[in-house]
Amino acid sequence: MRPASGSVCLIIFFFLTLLLNSCTTDDERKDKLPDTYDRGTIHICADESFKPIIDAQIAVYESSYPGTRIMVDYKPEAECLQDFGVDSIRVIIATRGYTQTEENFMVDSMKIGPSQLTVARDAIAVIVNPLSEDSLFTMPELKEILKGKFTKKLIPVFDGVKATSTVRFIVDSVLQSDSLSPNTVAARTSEAVIDYVAKTPDAIGFIGVSWIGNKEDTSQLNFLRKVKVARLESTDRPGKFVLPFQINISTKTYPMVRDLVYTLKENHKGLGKGFTDFLAEDRGQLIFKRAYLAPAIRSFYVRKVRLRE
């Protein structure tokens, strides 16, 4: 009986030791990680047209986790997509994720298993000079303007004529096989597009709605004093013209809607995963909503209200 009792005690001691060692090992493993969701510094890249909303997301995340620092480099989308092949860039935020070829490269050459998710949707807003008589456009009319064949010689203005997500959307989804007008103007940034349109009566600008969609943002209110946002013909009701409001983005009744997609390049549960999880969870989705974009993960409800007379 005694040997049996001793064996039981030995087995219990073994399992207790194993349990204690495993707990210690987990703690040590976390301490050895270069960063976690609540500490460390990482570098990410984001499409310049999303700068206002990504700045807001980072500000809230860093205030929630003071031990973190997210260094963001804003670039034209094509340059961001080149960062699929850069080890030091943990997260890429653009209007698309990676292709199968790009995923194969990251897996085979970089030994990284990437992930991607659409977390919000925004729209390309059309802005005109406050003195312009034209502020209602159908998509065929916009196409003629972009080709330089409209009845009035309006000057299209973009945040660059190459490599930006706005230009790519216009070329792929609006012009399709046609070419941009040779009179197209390339501004350096979205803010520069606003300034150019504000000073040029015949200009028509194309920018991400996150630059002018939030009427609670004082800087965006200042932008809206400089330019006028045009209405485009609704996708569901011919003859009805709509603004790039949140509800019209969510239902895609506004005709120029695009995705906001993150790509995560991280083989451990680090700060990159912490930040991208934040974008997809309640607070991050609420920030998208408060910025008047359409959250893609959490439901967006439209409620009818009765106004008091």
- How does strand 115-128 pair with strand 228-229? antiparallel
Asked if 40-121+259-295 and 122-257 have one fold, the answer is yes
Nearest-angstrom CA–CA distance, 75 and 189: 10
| Residues 214-251: tens digit of each pLDDT | 777 787 888 888 999 999 999 999 999 999 999 999 99
DSSP label of 85 = G
Task: Classify 122-257 by CATH class.
Answer: alpha beta
pTM, two decimals, is 0.84
- The topology (CATH level 3) of 40-121+259-295 is D-Maltodextrin-Binding Protein; domain 2 (3.40.190)
SS3 149: coil
Domain boundaries, given as residue ranges, for the chain? 40-121+259-295, 122-257
Where are the extended beta strands (E) located within 112-162? Answer: 115-128, 136-137, 155-158
List C-alpha distances in Å: 133 to 128, 200, 219: 9, 13, 25
pLDDT at site 257: 97
Low-confidence spans in the chain with pLDDT less than 50: 1-2, 305, 307, 309
Nearest-angstrom CA–CA distance, 196 and 203: 8
Residue 97 CB burial class (10 angstroms; 0-12, 13-18, ≥19): buried
Cβ–Cβ < 8 Å for 88, 41: no
